[in-house]
Structure 1
Amino acid sequence: MTGARTRFGVVIIAEHATRKEWIGRCRRAEALGFDVIAVPDHLNLLSPIPTAVLAAEATERPAIGTYVLNASFHRPAMLTRDVTTLTGLLGDRFELGLGTGYVETEFAAAGLPFAPATRVARLAGLVRTVDGLPARPPLLIGGHGDRVLRLAARHADVAGFTGARHRPEYGRSALVTAGALMERVAYLRAAAGERAARLELNVLSKATVLTRDRRAGVEGLRRYAPDLTTEELLEVPTLYVGTPAQIAEQVRADGERFGFTYVTVMDSAMDAFGKVIERLR
């Protein structure tokens, strides 16, 4: 999608929220210029389907997405019902995001196996289900590993890059270097073949820190990648650190280098990144 206008999304995360609070956060995202308001899928958070509907009701312009539904939590028949309902209620504003899930404790709580092969197989099954829908919404598939990226290459409209892989020694995922993420983008493009030019590439940013001291600012984010050097942390496209102007330039540079034309941030960074959007529009 060379030359495409960059889109900006925000994942709104809430363990608890009143209707008024949720509507307020969604309207704030719209006012800041975000193009996509997305809802996550974790057992400790508000349910994604009703919150997506309320996000659409509260706003007028942004697309409404799931970022991303955990494939192991949704049976094909149930997903068909939910996607058909959301497409009917939200029209062309709805965008479906799917992934394998990555929080091992959630799988244990749900009584589900965490094995990578099982999780990818469940995702592949849901993708086949979505492909068979008479009115399929735009599909984002997010992940990092070969099998998930091959699914995205063959079936997705948007390939979402987490820029992180599971690290057993930490008991969680950790960010990879810019070079490692570039290899993942190249892998996707090779797997996509002639579809590569039609794929929208998305990157998920873990944090945005507004500061004039980039080195000091990035040190506070070391928990996301304990084994990376300061220079490597400053280079990854999954962390934004600097002044709004510096971050805007990073977004432009990452778009040129990696092909990202769709950037998603967490809502903890919503106001800070809103200052960046001002400089990119």
Structure 2
Amino acid sequence: MSTQRPFRFAVQSYSAESPQDWRDKARKVEELGYSALHLADHYLGDGPALKATNHPHQRYAAIPLMTMAAEATTTLKIGARVFCIDYRPLAILVKEAATMHWLSGGRIEFGLGAGWLAGEYEAFGIPMDRAGVRVSRLDEYVRAAKMLLSGEEVDIDGEYVSLHGFAASPVPETPMPIMIGGGAPRVLGIAGREADIVSLNFDNSSGKIGPAGVQSSTAEKIDEKVRWVREGAESAGRELPEIEIAGYFTVVTPDEASGAATAEQFGKMFGLEAQEIIDHPNCLIGTLDQIAERLVERRERYEISYVTVSDTNMEAFAPIVERLAGT
């Protein structure tokens, strides 16, 4: 039975033309009624390494942009979907996030992920362990992050985290929700057990964006992913957490025929039939009425209430935010 959590909507952005453009974008996201503005945590510049990943170019680093967006707004939540735990030491990342939370008046959503973009690891000379090791490290990092955020003196001597003899500061005056992103059974089980928000992602074991990842999150497969989250939650005596879905492939069309044509184009890109794209939980393609109806249906089926769209589509999508946010 669905928990029927109220809808929240976020915008995902990778770029800005200038500092003022970024401030204006953050204010526009807030003005349009979105709950949050998210970035990614990627660093590759243009070149063959980035091209091989098929990932969008994120020109500027997430943390400075998050801080500026928080300064430019008053109610908008700010986050990264999600910070890669291998790119910086845990205690440093937690302190940076907690400081942003303090500066923003408690508006940071703290996303954590095991890391997946193989070309970025290789280009930067960062060792990339096999998936099982990275997920084990994420599990340990999340539990250690919670201890750091509690303000308790830490004494942790784990396989991947060693922290001793200090209490982290600042301690958030209001809870800083933890988001965990992933698409495979074990990481989603950890997310169900530990996270406040779960970002349902593709299975990115290929290490790049491509058909295999998109095909790993079709409608039937998302049923299974939600089950993994639910089982993780139940193992910790929790109810199913709030689930975020990243609707990157968002196209608002003027009529149903245009939506069908667009779905067919996306299907050819990712090796799926047009109807599979229309039904795909990471795709929102169609008229405003069609998309609104699908969101309500998907919340009932998957208990998904938190929806992310790209900044290139945020204005076209805004009537749906006005219609459904908070309902």
Q: Same fold (TM over 0.5)?
A: yes
Q: Which residue of 1 aligns with 2:251?
A: 209
> Deviations for 1:94-123, whole angstroms, at most 9, x for unmatched residues?
110111222211111221233212322332
Q: Which residue of 2 aligns with 1:251?
A: 295
1:90 aligns with 2:117: no
Separation of aligned partners in 2, 1:190 and 1:197: 10
1:151 counterpart letter in structure 2: I
Alignment of 1:1-281 (within 5 A): 2-14=3-15, 17-44=17-44, 45=58, 46-114=60-128, 115-132=130-147, 133-134=149-150, 135=172, 137-162=176-201, 164-166=202-204, 168=206, 172=210, 173-175=213-215, 176-193=217-234, 195-197=237-239, 199-211=241-253, 212=255, 213=257, 214-222=259-267, 226-281=270-325
Question: What TM-score comes out, normalization by structure 2 length?
Answer: 0.79
Separation of aligned partners in 1, 2:74 and 2:267: 38
Q: 1:168 to 1:5 in 2, by over 3 A?
A: closer
| Bigger fraction of residues in helix | 1
Does the 8 Å contact 2:193/2:238 carry over to 1? no
Q: 1:223 to 1:26 in 2, by over 3 A?
A: farther
- Bigger Rg, structure 1 or 2: 2
1:179 counterpart letter in structure 2: E
Does the 8 Å contact 1:248/1:277 carry over to 2? no
1:203 counterpart letter in structure 2: I
Q: Which residue of 1 aligns with 2:53?
A: none
After alignment, is 143-152 or 195-204 more displaced?
195-204
Q: Which runs of 4+ in 1 moved over 6 A?
A: none
Q: 1:187 to 1:25 in 2, by over 3 A?
A: same
Separation of aligned partners in 2, 1:73 and 1:265: 26
1:184 counterpart letter in structure 2: K
> Deviations for 1:144-170, whole angstroms, at most 9, x for unmatched residues?
1112112111110111112x2236498
Q: Give the drift of 1:196.
A: 4.5
Paired positions, count = 278
What residue ranges of structure 2 are gaps of 5+ in the alignment?
45-57, 151-171
Q: 1:12 to 1:104 in 2, by over 3 A?
A: same
2:10 counterpart letter in structure 1: G
Does the 8 Å contact 1:202/1:260 carry over to 2? yes
Q: 1:88 to 1:169 in 2, by over 3 A?
A: closer
Separation of aligned partners in 2, 1:91 and 1:106: 33
1:9 counterpart letter in structure 2: A
Identity across aligned pairs (percent)?
32
1:277 counterpart letter in structure 2: V
Q: 1:80 to 1:255 in 2, by over 3 A?
A: same
Q: 1:195 to 1:233 in 2, by over 3 A?
A: farther
After alignment, is 106-115 or 64-73 more displaced?
106-115
1:263 counterpart letter in structure 2: V
Separation of aligned partners in 1, 2:97 and 2:204: 29
Does the 8 Å contact 2:119/2:207 carry over to 1? no
Separation of aligned partners in 1, 2:139 and 2:226: 20
Does the 8 Å contact 2:113/2:181 carry over to 1? yes
Does the 8 Å contact 1:203/1:263 carry over to 2? yes
Separation of aligned partners in 2, 1:196 and 1:263: 22
Question: What TM-score comes out, normalization by structure 1 length?
Answer: 0.91
